[in-house]
Amino acid sequence: MTTPANPNDAALGASAAHAALAARLAPMAPTPGHELTLRVVPMPADSNANGDIFGGWIMAQVDIAGAILPARIARGRIATVAVNQFVFKQPVSVGDLLSFFARVERIGTTSITVNVEVYAERNPGELQVVKVTEANLTYVAIDAHGQPRPIPRD
């Protein structure tokens, strides 16, 4: 085992590796205000007949990722009332590491609208980061009877 001549060398090597990784991840720059709400790797069972990941599976993950912030703000049950916009910008492949970033766009009387951006990290040997999906969804706070209830303001 070799020991670095300068004890700081190991730390410098780690920080250089970290900086290089940060540079490779730079394309994964969500619009300001978005926060990471979900990371997941699709499996072969999530594929469609073309071998790409099934769009319905991606929509389900976006629905889950989009609900995180509204559920916190509504402090209780919510239901998805609308998918206002959904764009599949690039195909997703088995083994991609998907990161979902969400931002609250609007808080209404009983509803919360969220924007979700999805990035794929692929090919770890020569890392690529691609924005694959963007969506806009509205969730409604509901009471025990499934009826809309006001979003708490305090």
Q: How far is the CB of 144 from ligand COA (least distance, A)?
A: 12
Left if phi > 0, otherwise alpha if psi is -120 to 50, otherwise beta: which for 84? alpha
Query: How far apart are the C-alpha atoms of 122 and 130, rounded to whole Å?
Result: 8
Is 82 a binding residue for ligand COA by CB under 6 A? The answer is yes
When binding is defined by CB under 6 A, the residue of 68, 81, 97, 127 that contacts ligand COA is 81
Q: How far is the CB of 4 from ligand COA (least distance, A)?
A: 55
When binding is defined by CB under 6 A, the residue of 47, 80, 90, 93 that contacts ligand COA is 80
Query: How far apart are the C-alpha atoms of 66 and 140, rounded to whole Å?
Result: 12
Neighbours of 20 (CB within 10 A): 11
Backbone angles phi, psi at 65, to 5 degrees: -65, -35
Q: Kindly write out the interface string for residues 99-138 of this chain, putting x where it contacts ligand COA by CB under 6 A and - elsewhere.
A: ---------xxxx--------------------------x
Q: How far is the CB of 64 from ligand COA (least distance, A)?
A: 10
Per rule CB under 6 A, count of chain residues that contact ligand COA:
13
Give the residue from 48, 133, 128, 49 showing the smallest Cα distance to 90: 133
Is 79 a binding residue for ligand COA by CB under 6 A? The answer is yes
Radius of gyration of the chain (CA): 20
Q: Which residues contact ligand COA by CB under 6 A?
A: 79-82, 108-111, 138, 140, 142, 146, 148
